[in-house]
Amino acid sequence: MTLTSSTDPALDAGLTQAPPSRSAGRTARRVLARVAGAVVVLWGAATVAFLAQVALPGDRATIIFNTRAGQPIERTAEELAAVNAQYGLQHPVLVQYLDYLRGLLHGDLGRSYQQYRPVTQILGEQVGSTIVLTLTAIALAWVVMVVWVTLTAGRGPRTSGLGAALDTVTAALPHYWLGILLLLLFAQRLGWFPVISDGGPVGLVLPALTLAVPLAGFMGQATRTEFERALEQPFVVSARMRGQGDLGVRLRHVLRHSALPAVTLSGWALGATISGVVVVESVFTRRGIGSVLVTAVNSQDLPIVTGVVVLVAALYVVANLVVDLVHHLLDPRLKAS
Amino acid sequence: MTTTTSAPALPRFRTRAARPWGLHVALLLTAWFAVSALWPGLLAPGDPLELHLDSALAAPGPHHLLGTDEAGRDLYSRIVHGTAPALAIGFGASLVSLALALLLGGLAALAARPVASVVDRVVEVLFSFPSLLLALLLVALLGQSALTEAVAVGVGTAPGYARMIRGQILATKSSPYVEAAVTLGHSRTRILRQHVLPNAVRPLVAVFALSVGQSIVWASSLSFLGLGVAPPSSEWGALLDAGRLYLTHAWWLTIVPGLVIVVLALTATTLGKHLQASLERNDR
């Protein structure tokens, strides 16, 4: 395994993990270190979010007014002072920073410039729809990937070649393009699904599929290599000699061995899928974090933008802790003996 | 990912798969894209912005190969003429991305302890932001323009590459030939210059090819969200953004530029992978 050849950083993360621990004490220490690392990443994310808000060029109180009005208007000193007091901008930056961190600990992501409401409240209304879409998409990607790899990997040059080629092609599909294709074909032409996805499970199908197909291709690339390697292993031969059918061997033995890279990728995928979600929500006019974010970027409503950034970083960190745990469950070699 | 290390049964399969028809197609397409970018008039003699209001929103056909837009502008000409700005954003973003990645990855792998671990953490934090999100944050800060788009996409994709470069340098540092050089008593700077840096930088040629394709996809995603280059331009992302309005009447205005972007991304990926493979073969 050479690190150069893996263009996917998430894979490296999984492959450069610490060697298996030898005692329960070590495992505990490792878990603690992971949690500490996660806290540091979260703190860093919060700091980046804060710096971004400060870095917006110009006087912030004026910016807040202009964002609300949608155009630059001269404001009186009293008006500015009122906004400064409301957002705590009269304090030195360091105090503002500490206030921001303290707020985060209480689940306060700041106040929207444009909507006069707390960001937590705005995102809270939308986050459910986004999480449902993301998790459905990842689950769907797993199903598609497992079926496709099990059917095509290690079946002679032609079939595996086709399988691998399709992995590469689907992994490269931009979400907006695939989404529009599915939308035009299945919603507009055939009318099987609603054009505007809202609420119900039927409306979830096309957006989830749009996210799942490229992700399946991406995970498939990693899994296929491992799958074909595992097919050559002695334990596969011995399972076959015991009379187990081909499909049984593939599902029971080979898959378990080759699923690890994809499990590692899933944690990263949660974050990456959020990128896709922003686009997909726009294609299918679906409510969620993504549409709020795009509107906020357009109007430079930074507290919402940074709020999403912190929220997603938190999701990413939690997802990766979970992935670590699943890793241990799947691979007994990592368990303390 | 290399699988060649184990597996005795592989050779026959390898030679078959090595027939590089994919590479030939990719090279042909690269030539096409290069000509479109450098000399668009050769492939599309017409003016891409010429209006034909009588044939607005015409479907693909003999008169207009890929159809026309709402003002009767020929989509084929616009796509050919839009290659240069699209590639410029892709190259610009990749340069930003790899320069930043080289800086962060290099510091994380080579700097003295406290600096290295701080940079390590910074990369880790940046990596926890999805690429598009980081790009959107920058667009929110800097406003919309082609330059912002390139910088935003570059910064958005940099953390992943930084991690890769760091891993690469660390792997080289612990390789036998560096150990040998240390044993021979070569100075630190000489080892760095002669062994570590060349080996860490060479794979970047392949990564750059991959990155150009990816950057164009990300940049077009920004454009699709209405946060990229403004529509009068023929840049591919701008075409997408403009075509969205007519999605139900004129599918080609969105599907075709999207397809061109997919083809370019696949071309770049294929080239990158072949470069990577040949570099690895040379290493052995």
**Residue A191 in tokens:** 């009318």
* Percent of chain B residues past pLDDT 90, beyond the cut: 12
Task: Return the sign of the alpha-carbon dihedral for residues A53, A55, A61, A65.
Answer: negative
Chain A residues in contact with B125 by the CB 8 A cut-off are 40-41, 44-45, 47-48, 313
Q: What is the mean pLDDT of residues A103-131?
A: 86
* CB-based contact A272 B131, cutoff 8 Å: yes
Residue B259 to residue A169, Cβ atoms within 8 A: no
Using an 8 Å Cβ cutoff, are B51 and B73 in contact? yes
Q: Which residues in chain B are closer than 8 Å to A45, comparing Cβ atoms?
A: 125, 128-129
pLDDT higher at B168 or A57: B168
Percent of chain A past pLDDT 70, that is, above it, reads 89
Task: Give the pLDDT mean for B239-257.
Answer: 84
The size of the A-B interface in CB pairs under 8 A is 183
Q: Is the pLDDT of residue A336 over 80?
A: no
Consecutive H or E run containing A284 = none
CB–CB contact A174 B258 (8 Å): yes
A86 φ, ψ (degrees, to nearest 5) = -65, -40
Q: What's the per-residue H, E or C state across B197-232?
A: HHHHHCHHHHHHHHHHHHHHHHHHHHHHCCCCCCCC
Residues 6+ away with beta carbon under 8 Å from A301: A67, A112, A113, A114, A115, A295
Most confident of A54-68, B11-25, B193-207: B193-207
Chain B interface disruption, residue of A17, A53, A138, A177, most B CBs within 10 A = A177
pTM of the entire structure? 0.81
% residues pLDDT > 90 (chain A): 10
| Measured CA angle at A109 (ends A106, A110), to 5 deg | 115
Distance from CA of B3 to the nearest CA of A (A): 7
Q: Give the pLDDT band (50/70/90) at residue A10.
A: very low
**Disruptive mutation site among B13, B123, B125 for chain A (greatest number of A CBs within 10 Å):** B125
Phi, psi of A285 (to 5 degrees): 40, 50
Q: Do B121 and A313 touch (CB under 8 A)?
A: no
User: Which of B3, B128, B136 minimises the CB distance to A228?
Assistant: B3
- Cβ within 8 Å of residue B267, ≥6 positions away: B26, B29, B30, B33, B213
Comparing CB atoms, the residue among B7, B128, B259 nearest residue A229 is B7
What chain B residue is nearest to A155 in terms of C-alpha separation? B13
For an interface test with A, give the residue of B211, B223, B225 to mutate (most A CBs within 10 A). B225
